[in-house]
């Protein structure tokens, strides 16, 4: 009997301790944050979430304040009132270095977030958001300090809305994910052989005719300039800059179909709904081509507040090389004339343009052209590591595999500065992960290619390479996938995340 009582007491203690442990707040450095911050320091104690009653931000009615208020109401049932010295305080501190550097101090009485810029405060808020979303016990937060900053100033993703059209709301949903993972550029591939997606008022048939088609023969679509500006503003609230791309002189069948005069023979080629590339070219010799390019760049620059316009320039197999160089040399100054910095795929690196431009590396390895201009910034999108449209493996439902398969580990285990050692590494400003859309046409199909890989690219772009390790990342990304599934995302189910 005595023994029985003893064991009941022992079991009771065991249950009590397990219960305590499971409700005790996990330490700050045990949270599955992605991208992993530069430093996380634990302190004793916890902050009860309900003690957050008031919020302060540099501007009372900013988008930041609205996002915080709405999020905390939905996720934690808190109704924060704005106050100049709130319990949750976001403040600008010009003594801090680096434009996106931020510090978060969680104390038992409140939270202090500081950065030299509004952008830094927004990135910090994404970290806090993740702490709340990933908490085991959502009633409190562990105390401690986080200080953080990005490795790269350019952390981009690209969406091809030309092969298949994606609606404004589909793109906004994509932007929401980019924001949560601290991306700061969204490159929109707005034109290709299969469709032209942005209204150009001086050349209306680009969209009334060129916007109607897409891969597979289904109906495409296009953004009015107003739609596009709405998207730009939505991204800009989240400190994401939109980079519009008009791909030239190749990848132009939709424009050539809409305006026969842009063809050397004056005849419109048929609509293209397949996925072959490299057969179309604007007519390099005709003056009307340059009028067309000028109008397109001018209208695009007018509705694009960001610094860059991407002029494409890839895979121009239908344009003789000397003509290609002549064309690129003559259009890059137009971008500059309309107040923007040109960006181009790596083929444009052979241009004689002497101004500043950004080159986007994409080839498998070393397609460094002769006559290279060093010193211009490079964005890394190596196709065999960074292309989200590559299949994970031979069984993948969507995607292509011309650059090989990219499983979740391969997508994570590379570094922009070591993947192509022959490049001038100091010129590399970051990475961009493109999502070409030959094989996908809506959010659901897109999610399969995006997740989990997008999350890994976010970490490569932000977190220092010495702080990144696959085994630890694997555990963290699993938590994110659990959360994403509660948001309706069906990610690709990677066997690599199950293996020990
Ligand atoms: C190559 S990469 C392309 C695109 C295709 C993509 C498909 C590059 C600059 N051009 O036109 O959509 O492959 O993976």
- Tell me the best of 314, 398, 435 to mutate to test the pocket of ligand 1, counting ligand atoms within 8 Å of each CB and taking the most: 314
CATH 3.20.20.80 domain span(s) along the chain? 154-467
pLDDT of residue 17: 41
Whole-number Å distance, alpha carbon 197 to ligand 1 midpoint, is 17
Cis peptide bond prior to 249, omega within 30° of 0? yes
Taking the CA of residue 437 as reference, the ligand 1 atom at the shortest distance is: 12
d(CA 92, CA 462): 21
Which of 386, 360, 379, 300 is CA-nearest to residue 335? 300
Which of 404, 70, 65, 469 is CA-nearest to residue 237? 65
Whole-number Å distance, alpha carbon 436 to ligand 1 midpoint, is 7
pLDDT of residue 9: 47
> Which two structure tokens, joined as six digits, stand for 257?
């179909």
Residues annotated as catalytic are 315
Q: Is 477 in the pocket of ligand 1 (CB under 6 A)?
A: no
Q: Is 389 in the pocket of ligand 1 (CB under 6 A)?
A: yes
> Which two structure tokens, joined as six digits, stand for 34?
């992605």
> Which two structure tokens, joined as six digits, stand for 122?
């927004």
d(CA 206, CA 500): 52
* β pairing state of 358-361 and 378-380: parallel
Instruction: Give the H/E segment covering residue 159.
Output: strand 154-160
3-class DSSP assignment, residue 113 = strand
CATH 3.90.1150.10 fits 154-467, yes or no: no
Q: Is 346 in the pocket of ligand 1 (CB under 6 A)?
A: no
Nearest CA to ligand 1 atom 7: 436
Q: Is 345 in the pocket of ligand 1 (CB under 6 A)?
A: yes
Q: Is 162 in the pocket of ligand 1 (CB under 6 A)?
A: no
Give the architecture (CATH level 2) of 24-148. 2-Layer Sandwich (3.30)
Nearest CA to ligand 1 atom 9: 314
pTM (2 d.p.): 0.94
pLDDT, one tens digit for every residue, the chain (500 residues): 445 445 544 444 444 443 344 445 799 999 999 999 999 999 999 999 999 999 999 999 999 999 999 999 999 999 999 999 999 999 999 999 988 999 999 999 999 999 999 999 999 999 999 999 999 888 999 999 999 999 999 999 999 999 999 999 999 999 999 999 999 999 999 999 999 999 999 999 999 999 999 999 999 999 999 999 999 999 999 999 999 999 999 999 999 999 999 999 999 999 999 999 999 999 999 999 999 999 999 999 999 999 999 999 999 999 999 999 999 999 999 999 999 999 999 999 889 999 999 999 998 555 555 556 678 999 999 999 999 999 999 999 999 999 999 999 999 999 999 998 888 899 999 999 999 999 999 999 999 999 999 999 999 999 999 999 999 999 999 999 999 999 999 999 999 998 66
pLDDT of residue 369: 55
Residue with tokens 């948001």: 487
d(CA 280, CA 256): 8
pLDDT of residue 138: 83
pLDDT of residue 353: 94
d(CA 242, CA 43): 39
pLDDT of residue 13: 44
Contact (CB, 8 A) for 487 and 451: no
Contact (CB, 8 A) for 475 and 32: yes
Taking the CA of residue 402 as reference, the ligand 1 atom at the shortest distance is: 14
pLDDT of residue 500: 60
Instruction: Give the H/E segment covering residue 104.
Output: strand 102-107
Contact (CB, 8 A) for 145 and 104: yes
CATH 3.30.379.10 domain span(s) along the chain? 24-148
Q: Which residues of 50-63 are buried (b: 16+ CB within 10 A; e: fewer)?
A: eebeebbbeeeebb
Taking the CA of residue 251 as reference, the ligand 1 atom at the shortest distance is: 11
3-class DSSP assignment, residue 54 = strand
pLDDT of residue 34: 98
pLDDT of residue 196: 98
Nearest CA to ligand 1 atom 12: 436
Contact (CB, 8 A) for 474 and 494: no
pLDDT of residue 363: 82
Which of 292, 291, 387, 306 is CA-nearest to residue 342? 306
């Amino acid at each position: 009997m005595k023994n029985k009582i003893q064991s009941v007491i022992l079991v009771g203690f065991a249950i009590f301790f397990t219960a305590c442990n499971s409700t005790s707040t996990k330490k700050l450095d045990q949270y599955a944050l992605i991208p992993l911050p530069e430093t996380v320091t634990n302190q004793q104690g916890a902050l009860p979430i309900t003690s957050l009653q008031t919020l302060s931000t540099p501007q009372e009615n900013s988008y930041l304040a609205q996002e915080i208020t709405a999020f905390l109401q939905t996720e934690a049932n808190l109704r924060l009132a704005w106050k100049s010295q709130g319990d949750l305080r976001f403040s600008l501190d010009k003594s801090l270095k680096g434009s996106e550097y931020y510090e978060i101090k969680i104390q038992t009485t409140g939270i202090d977030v500081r950065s030299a810029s509004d952008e830094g405060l927004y990135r910090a808020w994404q970290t806090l958001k993740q702490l709340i979303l990933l908490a085991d016990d959502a009633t409190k937060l562990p105390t401690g300090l986080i200080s953080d900053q990005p490795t790269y100033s350019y952390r981009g993703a690209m969406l091809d809305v030309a092969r298949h059209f994606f609606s404004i709301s589909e793109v906004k949903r994509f932007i929401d994910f980019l924001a949560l993972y601290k991306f700061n550029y969204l490159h929109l591939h707005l034109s290709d052989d299969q469709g032209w997606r942005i209204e150009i008022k001086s050349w209306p048939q680009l969209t009334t005719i060129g916007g109607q088609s897409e891969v597979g023969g289904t109906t495409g679509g296009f953004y009015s300039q107003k739609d596009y500006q709405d998207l730009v503003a939505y991204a800009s609230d989240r400190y994401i800059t939109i980079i519009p791309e008009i791909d030239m002189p190749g990848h132009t069948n939709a424009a050539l179909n809409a305006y026969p005069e842009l063809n050397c023979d004056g005849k419109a080629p048929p609509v293209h709904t397949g996925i072959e590339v490299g057969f179309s070219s604007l007519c390099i010799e005709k003056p009307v081509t340059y009028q067309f390019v000028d109008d397109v760049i001018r209208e695009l620059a007018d509705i694009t507040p960001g610094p860059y316009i991407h002029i494409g320039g890839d895979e121009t197999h239908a344009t003789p090389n000397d003509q290609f160089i002549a064309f690129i040399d003559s259009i890059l100054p137009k971008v500059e004339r309309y107040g923007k910095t040109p960006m181009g795929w790596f083929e444009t690196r052979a241009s004689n343009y002497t101004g500043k431009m950004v080159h986007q590396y994409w080839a498998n390895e070393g397609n460094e052209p002769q006559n290279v201009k060093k010193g211009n910034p490079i964005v890394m999108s190596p196709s065999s590591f960074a292309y989200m449209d590559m299949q994970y493996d031979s069984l993948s439902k969507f995607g292509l595999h011309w650059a090989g398969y990219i499983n979740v580990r391969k997508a994570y285990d590379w570094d922009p500065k070591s993947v192509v050692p022959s490049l001038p590494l100091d010129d590399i400003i970051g990475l961009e992960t493109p999502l070409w859309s030959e094989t996908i046409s809506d959010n659901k199909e897109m999610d399969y290619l995006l997740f989990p890989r997008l999350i890994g690219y976010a970490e490569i772009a932000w977190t220092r390479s010495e702080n990144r390790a696959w085994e630890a990342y694997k555990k963290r990304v699993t938590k994110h996938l659990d959360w994403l599934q509660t948001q309706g995302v069906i990610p690709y189910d990677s066997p690599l995340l199950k293996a020990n």
